[in-house]
Amino acid sequence: MQGQVFKIHSDFYYVNSNNTTYECKLRENIKKQKIDVWVGDNVEFEDGAITSLVKRKNQIRRPHVANIDTLLVVSALKEPELDLIQLNRYLIFAKYYNVQTAICFNKEDLEENLGFEKDIMKLYSDLGYDIFFTSAKEETGILPLRKYLKGKLTAFAGASGVGKSTLINVLTGENLRKTNVVSDKTKRGTHTTRHVEIVEKDNMKIVDTPGFSQVPFDFLTPEELVKLFDDIYVYTSGCKFSNCLHRNEVNCAVIENKDKIGTLRYESYLKFLEEALEYREKIKTISIKKEANFKEHQGKFAPKISTKKREDSRRKVKQTILDELN
Ligand SMILES: Nc1nc2c(ncn2[C@@H]2O[C@H](COP(=O)(O)OP(=O)(O)OP(=O)(O)O)[C@@H](O)[C@H]2O)c(=O)[nH]1
Ligand SMILES: [Mg+2]
Ligand SMILES: [Zn+2]
């Protein structure tokens, strides 16, 4: 039989097939092959054991979810304070995984300055995102969001305390998900949701996730990073140097057009760039170390490692780092 994993609890995998829930474990062959089964995975199973995994359409890490149609990044306008750099972090992260993304600005009941809302709405809709403004508390803006979610598997992501679980409760009309107040002192959430789980209701499939705060870009190179910022990448062809990092170089077309790049987008790029540069350093040191080992191991006259080999080993290092993220 085939079904979709909607919840994982220690060793148990809860699989939905034709509206029936099956509690399964992993068959030995899956364990031996070290195949990870995630929420959202389509699996073959029999007699309470998952026997194989259907190829994924996509996957995101932190949290682990497979086969989603949309990632809805939820941000609060207040409590916790709107953090556009964090929002950009989620957006760029989703773009890296090639997942369609929409944005929901929640707690609009706490925000009086609507002019600001309009500005950010313009910025992100110009970038091609579908945008929603909601108040889960006063239940405003819920209908358009519900309509948007129909027929899709959507993962809700965003910092702790922004109201993901409250929104899901309102959307599904079920008060099942635990929610918690944002701390008075830190104005941050308390990581109330602990598990990743698909909730199904009225043709909406929603994944509630724990609020994860920081996803550092320590797994891609600066060249890969800038390509994920459409609004910055457009200018890069005008830079004088092909290895321009658009940070402080002369004749950099990005810097020259900084005013045209939206609020905090360029600052976000600079911030993530530091992380990508660290990753590049890490790759360099590991490749050099590898090379050194290789020579030592092979004796005095080991041939110099070819560019092709170096690229291969770079790729391997990258894979190792990505695997570590798992
Ligand atoms: N004023 C206001 N408060 C809200 C709104 N939505 C949620 N809250 C409150 O914000 C707090 C945090 O909400 P949660 O739903 O637990 O937040 P979460 O994003 O699920 O947090 P984690 O599970 O920790 O990731 C709760 O006290 C909610 O009642 C809203 O639209 N307006
Ligand atoms: Mg929650
Ligand atoms: Zn440049």
- The contacts of residue 237 (CB under 8 Å, 6+ apart) are 253
Q: What is the pLDDT along the chain (326 residues), one digit of tens a residue?
A: 999 999 998 899 999 999 899 999 999 999 899 889 999 999 999 999 999 999 999 998 877 899 999 999 999 999 999 999 999 999 999 999 999 999 999 999 998 877 878 888 899 999 999 999 999 999 999 999 999 999 999 999 988 899 999 999 999 987 766 666 666 666 566 566 667 889 999 999 999 887 655 678 988 999 999 999 999 999 999 999 999 999 999 999 999 999 999 879 999 999 999 999 999 988 888 777 665 555 544 444 454 555 555 566 666 666 666 665 54
Q: What Cα–Cα distance (Å) separates residue 221 from each residue in 133, 279, 282, 293?
A: 34, 7, 11, 24
Which atom of ligand 1 lies at the shortest distance from residue 211's CA?
25
Give dist(CA 213, CA 275) in Å, integer.
16
The full set of domains in the chain, from first to last, is 2-55 (2.40.50.140), 60-208 (3.40.50.300), 222-325 (1.10.40.50)
User: Ligand 1 in contact with 141 (CB < 6 A)?
Assistant: no
Q: Vertex 212, ends 209 and 216: CA angle to 5°? A: 135
Among 180, 182, 212, name the best residue to mutate to test ligand 1's pocket (greatest count of ligand atoms within 8 A of Cβ): 180
70-76 and 65-66 as β-strands: parallel, antiparallel, unpaired? unpaired
Residues 108 and 139 sit within 8 Å (Cβ to Cβ): no
Q: pLDDT tens digits for 240-293? A: 999 999 999 999 999 999 999 987 999 999 999 999 999 998 888 877 766 555
Nearest to 14 by CA among 142, 152, 198, 255: 198
User: Ligand 1 in contact with 163 (CB < 6 A)?
Assistant: yes
Question: Can you give the pLDDT at residue 296?
Answer: 46
User: Ligand 1 in contact with 106 (CB < 6 A)?
Assistant: yes
Instruction: Pull the structure tokens for residue 22.
Output: 């099956």
